[in-house]
Amino acid sequence: MEIILRNNFNYRKKIDVEEGTIISLQVTNFKAIISNLIDDYRFVNIDNSQVYFLGENVYEEINLYSNTYNLNLIKDIFDIFGLNDSFFDNKIEDLSYTERVYLNIIRNLSLGNKKILFYDVYNYLDYANQKKIKNLLLYLKEKKYTIFITSKDVNVLYKLADYSILWNKNNFDYGKTDDLYTNVEKILKFNLEVPVLSLITYKALKNKNVKLFYSKDVRDVIKDIYKHV
């Protein structure tokens, strides 16, 4: 699938994306890129301060969007989030922050569009709910959804994404996340944020001439450090 991206400097880039892929966006300005995707992608904003509900309860809210939603999909999402059918009866005003996140995701995914943009994917969620979101992304990936994710924390992008986009003005690269985020010199040249684990490995070699293995798991990095101490 071919996707055309445009940034706020009117640079246009074309990428080829396979179905069932999680792609991270680390760019200096999201506005133009997101507006370029918004018409074709279901936009899931995890920040509830910018999300509005019109229904009285969960069931009514979902039905406002579509009465032909995918019940099997909703059931699977309920299972991932640890919900049961009683959630449909909950009044919007009584929902917790996390439950509002759940509802926003469910109402967007219920429409059946298999192209999704998760904006700030872990925003204000604790570890347990981050894990649920990760499980949801893996489920959608298995169902051949095309998923873009953004986050204020580059370490989240490093851990979740199969492929990544780095873009600062006319500096652009797209490729496998492991390849891009272990090329620390390129990220620094782009003036973008480097994942902590990649930066530790990079500085160990540059400053101490100690060659560590790049890993997304902090435990592996710690073991490797002890091996060289």
Q: What is the pLDDT of residue 79?
A: 96
Residue 51 lies in a domain: yes
pLDDT in tens, 39-83: 888 888 887 777 888 889 999 988 886 666 788 899 999 999 999
Reduce the secondary structure of 141-203 to three states and give it as a string.
HHCCCEEEECCCCHHHHHHHCCEEEEEECCEEEEEEHHHHHCCHHHHHHCCCCCCHHHHHHHH
Among 8-12, 40-44, 110-114, the range of highest mean pLDDT: 40-44
Lowest mean pLDDT among 2-6, 29-33, 104-108, 162-166: 29-33
Q: What is the pLDDT of residue 118?
A: 94
Residue 125 lies in a domain: yes
Residue 219 lies in a domain: no
Q: Are 13 and 4 in contact (CB under 8 A)?
A: yes
Q: Decide if pLDDT at 203 tops 90.
A: no
* Dihedral angle sign, alpha carbons of residues 186, 192, 195, 201: positive
Which residue range forms the structural domain that includes residue 146?
2-174
Average pLDDT over residues 136-144: 96
Q: What is the pLDDT of residue 92?
A: 94
Residue 38 lies in a domain: yes
Report the CATH number that the domain containing residue 83 is assigned in CATH: 3.40.50.300
Average pLDDT over residues 74-96: 94
Q: Are 148 and 15 in contact (CB under 8 A)?
A: no
Average pLDDT over residues 140-167: 95
Residue 99 lies in a domain: yes
pLDDT in tens, 181-200: 999 999 999 999 999 988 88
Between residues 8 and 48, the one the model is more confident about: 8
pTM: 0.89
Residue 213 lies in a domain: no
- State the pLDDT confidence band at 226, using cuts at 50, 70 and 90: low
Residue 196 lies in a domain: no
Total of domains in the chain: 1
Q: Decide if pLDDT at 223 tops 70.
A: no
Residue 60 lies in a domain: yes
